Chains A and B, each alone.
Chain A
Amino acid sequence: MVSNFRKAYSVVGVVLLLQYFLQLYFIAAAVFSVWQANDNQKDVYAGFKNGDKFAGIHAGNGDLAGIMIIILVILSFAARQPWRTTILSGVLFVLIFLQSILAHTGIALLSALHGVNALFLIGLTGYLTGANWAFRRPASAGVTPP
């Protein structure tokens, strides 16, 4: 049973990483929608409205990533992962909570840290997924070749 939960932890870690890639993709698409517009009020606003659709998907997917992180924390308990892994999975939740706060500060220079914090989230998720990968072949120590 523990083995299944460890596998589930790995799968959720990979799904989370894919969600992060999508987050970057959607927000870049949103930004380019504005910057490709001609430099006049009407076109910039039209570009913004077009980009807002991508920004909306970015926000929705971000909320979903928060839920996935909660699932990851629960799975780290269920899989009886080492405390270090469980605590670091909890840190992921703190980081995504901070990510949400940074997105709504109202101060662009402060909110911009949202982009840097995202990299910490991606790095830590990548580390936790890689370090606790449950689909490795067991080492064949002690097996003597025929």
Chain B
Amino acid sequence: MTDFFRKAYSVVSVLLLVEILAQFYFIAAAAFSIWLAEDNQKSIAAAFENAGPFAGLHAMNGSILVPATILVLIGLSFAARYSWRTTGLTALLAAAFILQFALAIAGFAGITPVAGLHAVNALVILGLAAWTVRRNWAFGERGARAQAAVAEPVRS
């Protein structure tokens, strides 16, 4: 059963990585919709409207799918009986996400110098997510080795 949850943890962490990559894609598509337009009031306003769906996808993916996936990942790290270090770092994803949300709110409130950190924190989230994939990969040879280690108690 633990093996099943460890594999599920790996699959969900890959899904989280894909969602984060999609976030970068959507917001870049929104930005380019505007910056590729002609530099006049009418064109920029029209481009802003065209960019809306991409920004909307970024907001929806970021405020629903990503946090839901992080919560599932935390649940799976408990179910898979991973070490407290792994579970703690998975929970750190949730903390980084809350900060990400706060930075976005700062951006919409007009605190641009702080809001710029939204993208830097995104990189921290991506790094943590990549770490969870790499360190806890439960398939193939590494998975078999990890499964053998499960026979020993992981948590104290």
Contact = CB atoms under 8 A, between A and B. Distances in A.
A44 B44 contact: yes
Contacts of B122: 24
Contact of A118 (B24, B44, B118): B24
A42 B48 CA distance: 12
Contact of A28 (B21, B44, B50, B115): B115
Given A25-B119, A35-B55, A116 B33 contact: no
Contacts of B26: 112
Interface stretch (B2-10, B62-70, B105-113, B148-156): B105-113
Contacts of A115: 24-25, 27-28
Interface stretch (A4-12, A68-76, A79-87, A103-111): A103-111
Nearest to A126: B127
Prevailing SS type, chain A contact patch: helix
A36 B45 contact: no
A32 B44 contact: no
Contact of A32 (B33, B35, B45, B118): B118
A34 interface: yes
Chain B: number of interface residues, binned into ranges? 35 or more
Contacts of B50: 108
A26 B120 CA distance: 10
A29 interface: yes
Interface string B40-53: 11101100101100
Contacts of B31: 27, 30-31
B21 A36 contact: no
B116 interface: yes
A42 B33 CA distance: 18
A122 B24 CA distance: 13
Contacts of A33: 112
Given A31-B31, A42-B41, 12 more contacts: A24-B123, A25-B116, A28-B115, A29-B115, A32-B115, A35-B107, A45-B40, A108-B29, A112-B54, A113-B28, A115-B24, A123-B130
Interface of B: 21, 24-36, 40-42, 44-45, 48, 50-51, 54-55, 107-110, 112-113, 115-120, 122-123, 126, 130
Interface of A: 21, 24-36, 40-42, 44-45, 48, 54-55, 103, 106-109, 111-116, 118-119, 122-123
